[in-house]
Amino acid sequence: MRGIIRMTEEDAYCIDLIRQIQAVQAALSKVSTAILEDHLNSCVITAIQGDDPDERERVLKEITDVFATATKV
């Protein structure tokens, strides 16, 4: 992000800025996917296998909310 800000302040070529922004977005997407995968394989599985139906509903709603938010962007 600092690099993008610096590029903006230095009036870098617009296409170069767009490419840098796309690279940051792609990197954030990869990190988000990895975190979601870890969450599904730990917290969600634990809740689904657990005895608390409210906890199962809570984690499933979290996942639904994450995907609903992602599709709004």
Query: What integer pLDDT is reported at residue 70 of this predicted model?
Result: 84
CATH of domain 2-72: 1.20.58.1000
Q: 13-63, pLDDT tens digit by residue?
A: 999 999 999 999 999 999 999 999 999 999 999 999 999 999 999 999 999
Q: What is the pLDDT of residue 11?
A: 95
Residue 1 predicted with pLDDT over 80: yes
CA distances from 51 to 13, 16, 36, 57 (A): 57, 53, 23, 12
- The four Cα atoms 52, 31, 70, 36 give a dihedral, to 10 degrees, of -20
Q: b/e per residue, 17-42, with b = 16+ CB within 10 A?
A: eeebeeeeeeeeeeeeeeeeeeeeee
**The whole model's pTM is what?**
0.76
Q: Is the pLDDT of residue 73 over 80?
A: no
Ranges of each domain in the chain: 2-72
